[in-house]
Amino acid sequence: MTWFCVKKLLSPVIVAGSVLVADNRDVTKSNIDDESSQQVNFDDIVSSTKEKIMQKMKMANIPGSCCIVHINGKPIMKTGFGFSNIENSTPFSCKTSMRIASISKLITALMTLHFVQEEKVDLDKNLVDFFKSYNIALSVDDGEINSMTLKQLLNHTAGIRHYHNANQIEGRGDTTADEFFSNKNYPSIKDSLDIFIHDKLLFTPGTEFKYTTFGYSLLSFAMEKFAEKSFEQMLSEFTSLLGLSSTRLDSFEDIILNRCQYYCKKDDCQLKICPYVDNSNKWAGGGMVSTAEDIAKLGDILLYLYQCDSPSNYVKHELIESMIESNSITTSKKGDSHYGYGLKVCHEQDSHGKTLQYFKMAHSGGAVGACSNLVVLPLGKHLSGGKPKGITVVMFSNSCDGDVIKLAHEIAESFAEKIENELDCHC
């Protein structure tokens, strides 16, 4: 089905797509700073953001998408576009359940830090002998390794490989890898390790950076043993603690409310339904489903934990600091970002007093028939009136094409610039 055909179906949904909020207030206005009670009107930027999203959807022939923008934990924009299921004319909304792919890593990382806080795991503990006790012998080309830690698994410096043949074709990323489309069911995480565990490590742990989804599979295996619980049980308990009621493992057999249909494209760019895949090969690193509402809440939680120095938090401020701490090994070649624990940290850069790039905590996700993005942009290092101060942007799309969700960073920065300019006018 071409975009021209789909557009006829989508138009009523796109036009009807509106900003939603539970108490029916005008959500295009927000108290940016509760102390100064500055009012910022976001009507223009919300309108332009919707237009950009619809243009990207049209250009890339994307069936459905949604966008949520929170400022200081309050909803400013909450809009669905197109369809979650074209055949049934089901609108795509912020309650649509979808694969979140690698955003799963952020949830796994926060859960790991929660266990660190409860003294169930140690990020710096040498795991080599532990893995050997389960007949997992890790080695590099010149022999066995002497050390591997949870910290290295969290920030992709452990040497575990990613999918075979991923990123071989420019612009296609993981979609060139057969393992990305795996439809084999693995009864346990230990079983799923057979995919990669007999391969040599790419380098000695702690010496280089290589992004890997399978590293999180090994991490989750260790977590199961330390916590004496299944990963599914740990995830269920942790998401309940955070209030993420729609976040869970992507089980094909289970009934999941509001689950979308996943689409990809034929050679002629027409839409088709994606092939069946089984994500039990990567639960912790890319096998969860959620809603944009849940992930926006997750972003607000991350913002709060970053800005709140309370010992009663389920993840202490000092652990969040370690999560985003600068690391020369994981820093990008351009030097504008680095990888922490389960998230990418974009560095703030200033020139002549003008912010060119904001400090952001983010992670994107690409799954079979789904793309997602979470961007958290703090507007300070501390809470304001006991509330988080910053911007959270979430974008979902039920298509392998990631053009739409790439807008998340641009959207976050445009709202930040709007706030800066408005506050400058009041100074």
Statement: residue 345 has pLDDT above 80: yes
Tokens of 292: 């944009």
DSSP state of 260: P
All residues at 6 or more sequence positions from 404 whose CB lies less than 8 Å from its CB, including other chains: 53, 56, 57, 60, 62, 65, 371, 395, 397
DSSP 3-state assignment of 58?
helix
All residues at 6 or more sequence positions from 415 whose CB lies less than 8 Å from its CB, including other chains: 42, 45, 69, 71, 76, 391, 393
| Distance between CA atoms of residues 418 and 262, nearest Å | 35
Q: Categorize the per-residue pLDDT at 8 as very low, low, confident or very high, splitting at 50, 70 and 90.
A: very low
Torsion of CA 305, 310, 315, 321, to 10 degrees: 60
Give me the amino acid identity at 62. I
Decide: residue 23, CB within 10 A, 0-12 exposed, 13-18 middle, 19+ buried: exposed
Residues 32-47, buried b or exposed e (16+ Cβ, 10 A)?
bbeeeebebebeebbe
Statement: residue 421 has pLDDT above 90: no
Statement: residue 356 has pLDDT above 80: no
DSSP state of 174: G
DSSP state of 295: H
Once rounded to an integer, what is the mean pLDDT over residues 184-201?
A: 97
Write the DSSP string, 81-102: EEEEETTTTEEP-TT-BEE-TT
Listed by start position, the domains of the chain span 3-94+291-426
271-273 and 29-31 beta bridge pairing:
unpaired
Q: Categorize the per-residue pLDDT at 15 as very low, low, confident or very high, splitting at 50, 70 and 90.
A: very low
DSSP state of 146: S
| Distance between CA atoms of residues 371 and 399, nearest Å | 6
Mean pLDDT for the chain overall: 89
Tokens of 151: 């910290």
Decide: residue 117, CB within 10 A, 0-12 exposed, 13-18 middle, 19+ buried: middle
Once rounded to an integer, what is the mean pLDDT over residues 353-363?
A: 82
| Distance between CA atoms of residues 109 and 305, nearest Å | 14
Q: Categorize the per-residue pLDDT at 427 as very low, low, confident or very high, splitting at 50, 70 and 90.
A: low
pTM score of the predicted model: 0.91
Neighbour tally for 351: CB within 10 Å: 8
Nearest to 51 by CA among 67, 28, 39: 67
Rounded-to-5 percentages of helix, strand, coil across the chain: 35, 20, 45
| Distance between CA atoms of residues 177 and 138, nearest Å | 23
| Distance between CA atoms of residues 212 and 219, nearest Å | 11
Q: How many CA atoms lie within 13 A of 209 on its CB side?
A: 15
pLDDT digits (tens, 9 = 90+) for 307-330: 999 888 999 999 999 999 999 999
Is residue 355 within 8 Å of residue 369, measured between CB atoms?
Answer: no
The CA–CA distances, whole Å, from 417 to 40, 356, 360, 410, 414 equal 12, 10, 14, 10, 5
pLDDT digits (tens, 9 = 90+) for 30-47: 444 544 335 799 999 999
| Distance between CA atoms of residues 167 and 290, nearest Å | 26
| Distance between CA atoms of residues 194 and 323, nearest Å | 29
pLDDT digits (tens, 9 = 90+) for 70-129: 999 999 999 999 999 999 999 999 999 999 999 999 999 999 999 999 999 999 999 999
Token pair 């916590």 is found at 227
